[in-house]
Amino acid sequence: MPSAISNLIKSQPIHFHAIEDHHLQDAPCLSEINFDEIIHYLQENSETLKDSINDLMNESRSRVTANIKQVERPDFSQVHECKNEICAVQKVLGEKKGPMLLYLHHRYNINSSHLTNVFADPLGEQELSQIIHAVKDFPEKYFQNLQDYKIIRFRQGRVRSGLSAHTRASESKGSIELFDPWTELSEFSMRTSLSHELAHLLARHILIEDQAIDTSNQWLNLSGWKKIKDEFDELVWKPSAKTQFVSKYAKENPQEDFAESLIAFRYRPSFLKKIHPEKYYFLKEYIFNNQEVCL
């Protein structure tokens, strides 16, 4: 190994994940939005909130869940006192959480209301805030074509069988699922674990020559990813021996490489640029419209 590269690796340790809490603390241009700004956005768009409200308060949950114990049913009893949509969503989904959910749905097509899924629990204010901030860390245009995508806080105590993860992106269901361990993470880790799943989501919607970007030839070539037969005769992904990765997890397969590299681009751009400049320029061109993260 050339000494310049080995020195670089010594000075930039490779962790299991590309972004640890202290990296996010030092990240450039983190997106911020406060509650007043959310209300302001909703007031500006008051004419077009109705569809979002209907999606968030979809009553199918209360019908479907009539037989399931301990499920809070939505309380619509005070909605008649309201003169506008923001008030209605506050009465049913919470003073702060209602407008936050409405903002997330109206602006980014993401439905995080627990009312729409029999297996969901309500998200806390802090949790919702991390979701909004993670979403805002990516270019807004990628969310404009989503069809009522869901980010669901799975009911307490529920796990997917054989899964110990805190988060999971399910493209077939069009959702990101959050489990108990996610709510126990630090605020920073909540945000970056969501950003990682959002990176998987974006990858499915960004095509290069009809191929999802994270399995496109261009992306595979950057690390020399190839499918080979392992000792059990199973086809597995293998990168070229000389490639550098932003994290140990990124070495799993091209999709994890993409998700980890994308969040590295967003939160540690200079690190990605040093470790693998070609990936940096690829993500800059294809995801960030040829712009640096901070402008």
**Residues forming the site for Zn ion (CB under 5 A):** 256, 259
Q: Which is nearer to Zn ion, 85 or 257 (CB)?
A: 257
Q: Which is nearer to Zn ion, 104 or 250 (CB)?
A: 250
Q: Which is nearer to Zn ion, 14 or 118 (CB)?
A: 14
Q: Identify each DSSP E strand in the chain by its residue range.
A: 110-111, 149-153, 167-170, 175-178, 207-208, 211-212, 226-229, 235-238
Q: How far is the CB of 232 from Zn ion (least distance, A)?
A: 23
Q: How far is the CB of 200 from Zn ion (least distance, A)?
A: 6
Gap between the Cα atoms of 239 and 223, Å rounded: 6
Q: How far is the CB of 199 from Zn ion (least distance, A)?
A: 8
Q: How far is the CB of 120 from Zn ion (least distance, A)?
A: 21
Q: Which is nearer to Zn ion, 146 or 165 (CB)?
A: 165
Gap between the Cα atoms of 132 and 211, Å rounded: 29
What's the first-to-final CA gap in the chain, in angstroms?
36
Q: How far is the CB of 56 from Zn ion (least distance, A)?
A: 27
With a CB cutoff of 8 Å and minimum separation 6, the contacts of 219 are 208, 213, 225, 254, 257, 258, 282
Q: How far is the CB of 46 from Zn ion (least distance, A)?
A: 38
Cβ burial, residue 145 (10 Å; 0-12/13-18/19+): exposed
Q: Which is nearer to Zn ion, 114 or 200 (CB)?
A: 200
CA distances from 257 to 1, 4, 188, 211, 213 (A): 22, 23, 21, 16, 12
User: Strand, helix or coil at 240?
Assistant: coil
The amino acid sitting at 63 is R
Q: Which is nearer to Zn ion, 201 or 259 (CB)?
A: 259
Q: How far is the CB of 96 from Zn ion (least distance, A)?
A: 30
Gap between the Cα atoms of 131 and 64, Å rounded: 27
Closest by Cα among 212, 208, 226 to 259: 212
Q: Which is nearer to Zn ion, 103 or 179 (CB)?
A: 179
Yes or no: say if 218 and 283 are a contact pair by the CB < 8 Å rule.
no
With a CB cutoff of 8 Å and minimum separation 6, the contacts of 36 are none
Q: Which is nearer to Zn ion, 167 or 216 (CB)?
A: 167
Q: How far is the CB of 265 from Zn ion (least distance, A)?
A: 15
Closest by Cα among 190, 105, 183 to 149: 105
Position closest to Zn ion via CB = 259
User: CA torsion angle for 282, 212, 130, 188 (degrees, to 10)?
Assistant: -50
